[in-house]
């Protein structure tokens, strides 16, 4: 599992379908170099790996221009190396204000002549609920086209419908876009409670539609404006607290296409000639 892996397919819309998902795994000396460069302290042993997690999600706040939130986290994954272990690895962390515990199972991978991929099934729990899901790692940010029939077969054997999986948008990792997106970003607070066990290395917010509204006056803020600013912020926070979360969540996950809408593949994952796709 060492090196960079991109999530290209996700099966749980609540956890797997964010944009721009890249995970970088490092063990041993490479892990220590990663931690040192990020100035993060984690206890990495022979059976553990440091994992740098990157993802993006849209962020809309009342009265402000829509933005895109980029997260860069570092966490520790503990591999189960005991003889006969069924579970591949497990982790514990805190994200979005909730402590989570997850078990990972690598239930399939590429054949020798196929593009590299790993099919990961996971189960998890927080103090509020239990959940499970699955995703597919690939070495490149796009779908491993020649390996999709194998991925579809593994998915169905595990009880998942591959045509309902989301095709994760990793277009931000195209070289020209990636080179332009990193420099000049200003670190901003994350939209939810910061990660604790999975330390926040960096977070940035890009304007997605239009710049923020111009200030009311071009000069120094008046005393009235200075007094009103905290009240405006508090009112917005209360309004967002009472806001119905379902429309934003629906919009978030609608940004990722299900595989049933990726017309280049049939229901078994094979490429089809243009215009001849049928799901039935």
| Burial profile 131-153: b = 16 or more Cβ within 10 angstroms, e = fewer | eebbbbbbeebebbeebbbbbbe
Kind and range of the H or E element at 57? strand 48-59
CA–CA separation, 204 and 129 (whole Å): 29
Q: What is the pLDDT of residues 40-85, one digit of tens each?
A: 777 788 888 988 889 887 766 666 677 777 888 888 899 999 988 9
Give the residue from 75, 51, 56, 76 showing the smallest Cα distance to 66.
Answer: 56
Q: Profile the chain (280 residues) by mean pLDDT over runs of 10 residues.
A: 93 89 91 77 83 81 72 86 92 74 95 96 90 96 95 96 94 63 39 35 49 48 70 67 58 74 87 59
Task: For each of the domains in the chain, give its residue range(s) and CATH number, in order of start.
Answer: 3-213+244-261 (2.40.128.20)
What is the reported pLDDT for 252? 62
Q: Where do we find the tokens 């008046």?
A: 222
Cα distance from N-terminal residue to C-terminal residue, the chain: 36
Q: Where do we find the tokens 């302290």?
A: 41
What is the reported pLDDT for 163? 94
Kind and range of the H or E element at 67? strand 67-79
């Amino acid at each position: 599992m060492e090196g960079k892996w991109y999530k290209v397919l996700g099966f749980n819309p609540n956890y797997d379908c964010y944009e721009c998902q890249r995970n970088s795994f490092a063990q041993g000396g490479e892990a220590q170099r990663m931690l040192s460069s990020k100035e993060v302290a984690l206890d990495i042993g022979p059976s553990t790996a440091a994992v740098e997690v990157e993802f993006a999600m849209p962020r809309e706040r009342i009265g402000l221009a829509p933005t895109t939130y980029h997260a860069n986290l570092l966490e520790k994954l503990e591999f189960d190396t005991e003889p006969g272990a069924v579970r591949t690895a497990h982790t514990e962390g805190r994200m979005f204000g909730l402590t989570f515990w997850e078990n990972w199972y690598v239930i399939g991978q590429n054949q020798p002549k196929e593009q590299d991929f790993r099919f990961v099934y996971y189960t998890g729990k927080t103090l509020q609920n239990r959940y499970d899901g699955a995703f597919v790692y690939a070495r490149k940010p796009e779908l491993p086209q020649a390996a999709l029939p194998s991925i579809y077969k593994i998915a169905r054997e595990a009880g998942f419908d591959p045509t309902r999986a989301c095709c994760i948008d990793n277009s931000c990792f195209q070289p020209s876009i990636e080179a332009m997106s990193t420099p000049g970003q200003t670190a901003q607070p994350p939209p939810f409670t910061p990660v604790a066990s999975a330390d926040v290395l960096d977070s940035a917010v890009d304007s997605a539609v239009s710049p923020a509204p111009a200030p009311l006056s071009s000069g120094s803020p008046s005393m009235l404006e200075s007094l009103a600013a905290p009240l405006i912020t508090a009112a917005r926070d209360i309004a967002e607290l009472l806001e119905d979360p379902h429309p934003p969540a629906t919009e978030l996950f609608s940004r990722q296409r299900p595989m049933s809408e990726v017309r280049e593949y049939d229901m078994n994952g094979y490429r089809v000639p243009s215009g001849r796709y049928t799901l039935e």
